[in-house]
Chains A and B, each alone.
Chain A
Amino acid sequence: AAGVIQSPRHLIKEKRETATLKCYPIPRHDTVYWYQQGPGQDPQFLISFYEKMQSDKGSIPDRFSAQQFSDYHSELNMSSLELGDSALYFCASREGYNEQFFGPGTRLTVL
């Protein structure tokens, strides 16, 4: 069965650089969620989209933005990267009121 795809799987950036993370939800899933998991921390909700519109917003810094495109894939754009942005970034997708299915994550390291 198709799963949530995230790219890249690993990303290394310097401070103040920009990063773009991509998420391709499971086919027919109309809702996408982004979570950030810092070292030793629980995943924290960042932002979600339903039918290409932002549906909820969590603890997402102003330096980050995201959008969902017409093919339902989503991109998380991160600018002016800081050391504290180093984390695992998970994308999850959902169809209707079913459970969220998570992708493998993108590990971002900011040097």
Chain B
Amino acid sequence: DQQVKQNSPSLSVQEGRISILNCDYTNSMFDYFLWYKKYPAEGPTFLISISSIKDKNEDGRFTVFLNKSAKHLSLHIVPSQPGDSAVYFCAAILNRDDKIIFGKGTRLHILP
């Protein structure tokens, strides 16, 4: 049973526009949420995280929004750049020292 769900396998966005990647989860006990970015032939790279007690975290072009009542989070990338083309994994953990539970990923294509 998938506890972290990314329902869009792929997304195409024009360069310079906003990319919005969505994620839903089922376990209300998750304490921490993360986004990882993955290029081919590389391991996942940590991008940004958010604690369950917050609703927004921003780091440069990347902002993560958390809606606990809807069990939904999203990653906003603005402006989108060609180097942002990658697979983005939404992930969650129960405690800070816990294993990561990943979604299936969304492949983001930034179009010139």
Contact = CB atoms under 8 A, between A and B. Distances in A.
A35 B100 CA distance: 9
Interface string B1-24: 000100000000000000000000
B102 A43 contact: yes
- Chain B interface size, as a band, is 20 to 34
Interface residues of A, number: 25
A92 B105 CA distance: 18
A42 interface: yes
Interface of B: 4, 34, 36, 41-46, 49, 89, 96-105
Contacts of B101: 45
**Prevailing SS type, chain A contact patch:** strand
B44 A90 contact: yes
Interface string A68-104: 0000000000000000000000101010010111111
A33 interface: yes
Contacts of A99: 34, 46, 49
Contacts of A43: 44, 89, 100, 102
B43 A4 contact: yes
Contact of B100 (A45, A50, A104, A105): A45
